[in-house]
């Protein structure tokens, strides 16, 4: 038969199984408000200052996944993929700083919101050496894919994203970042296929936790609670 058949792995099956939560994280009212142009700029600013804190905590998490890749990687290009993601966070931190000054948002002395703090603590728990590579990869994919799917939605035909927010949306909604997420998913699926039933079960729970934290993070940005 001509044409490509779509590969389906464990992650795709989990997304279908937990579609309601996945959609809650990737089509949150905050994102929909950016997409329809009704976004409250004070919500956007809150997201900006809180996400800067999150990203600084995210760097050591990605570094911990890279460390696991170096120890576990067999024949794939896991290390290059994750290293690329880690390197791009350097750019991302610089982008947050310049975006914050554009919006007159101070990034020093920010009070960390509860939802952000809880999410960062969760990230920290995933950095331990005992956390299996398949599980850490699942979390990394879910964290990145939530932003990719959310912001790409704000750039689709028919969206009314304000011009001054389009650069933000392109940061995670661009095709290159989409490709990065697909690579992460492929690697995660590969390790999940080989994992024990116990690790698979823990990875599924971790995926649900990530999605719940992402929803809480959007809630905090949107409503300030």
Q: Which residues are catalytic?
A: 214
Which lies closer to ligand NSP via its Cβ, residue 184 or residue 200?
184
Range in contact with ligand NSP (rule: CB under 6 A) among 23-31, 123-131, 138-146, 184-192: 138-146
Nearest to 62 by CA among 18, 38, 37, 92: 92
Cβ 144 to ligand NSP shortest distance, Å: 5
| Number of shown-chain residues binding ligand NSP (CB under 6 A) | 10
Separation of alpha carbons 112 and 50, rounded Å? 7
Cβ 47 to ligand NSP shortest distance, Å: 9
Give the one residue of 14, 22, 133, 147 binding ligand NSP; rule: CB under 6 A.
147
Q: What is the DSSP string of 163-211?
A: HHHHHHHHHHHSHHHHHHHHHHHHHHHHHHHHS-HHHHHHHHHHHHHHH
**CB 22 within 8 Å of CB 189:** no
Draw the binding track, 44-83, toward ligand NSP (x: CB under 6 A; -: no contact).
Answer: -------x--xx--x-------------------------
- The yes or no reply on residue 141 touching ligand NSP (CB under 6 A) is no
- The yes or no reply on residue 151 touching ligand NSP (CB under 6 A) is no
Cβ 8 to ligand NSP shortest distance, Å: 24
**CB 48 within 8 Å of CB 98:** no
Which lies closer to ligand NSP via its Cβ, residue 182 or residue 194?
182
11-16, long-range: CB < 8 A, 24+ apart: 11/138, 11/141, 11/185, 11/188, 11/189, 11/192, 11/207, 12/189, 14/204, 14/207
Task: Note the residues at the interface with ligand NSP (CB under 6 A).
Answer: 51, 54-55, 58, 143-144, 146-147, 214, 217
């Amino acid at each position: 038969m001509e044409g490509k058949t779509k590969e389906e792995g464990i992650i795709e099956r989990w997304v279908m199984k937990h579609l309601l939560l996945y959609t809650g994280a990737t089509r949150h009212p905050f994102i929909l408000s950016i997409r329809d142009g009704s976004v409250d700029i004070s919500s956007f600013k809150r997201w900006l200052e809180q996400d800067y804190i999150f990203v600084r905590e995210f760097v050591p998490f990605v570094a911990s996944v890279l460390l696991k890749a170096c120890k576990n990687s067999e024949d794939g290009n896991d290390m290059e993929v994750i290293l690329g993601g880690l390197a791009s966070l350097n750019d991302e931190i610089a982008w947050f700083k310049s975006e914050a000054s554009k919006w007159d948002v101070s990034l020093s002395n920010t009070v960390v919101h509860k939802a952000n703090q809880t999410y960062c603590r969760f990230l920290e728990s995933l950095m331990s050496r005992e956390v299996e590579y398949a599980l850490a990869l699942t979390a990394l994919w879910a964290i990145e894919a939530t932003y990719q799917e959310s912001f790409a939605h704000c750039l689709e035909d028919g969206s009314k994203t304000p011009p001054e927010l389009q650069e933000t949306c392109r940061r995670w909604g661009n095709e290159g970042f989409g490709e990065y997420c697909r690579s992460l998913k492929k690697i995660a699926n590969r390790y999940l296929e080989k994992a024990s039933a116990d690790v698979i079960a823990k990875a599924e729970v971790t995926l649900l936790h990530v999605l719940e934290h992402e929803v809480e993070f959007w809630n905090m940005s949107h409503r300030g609670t």
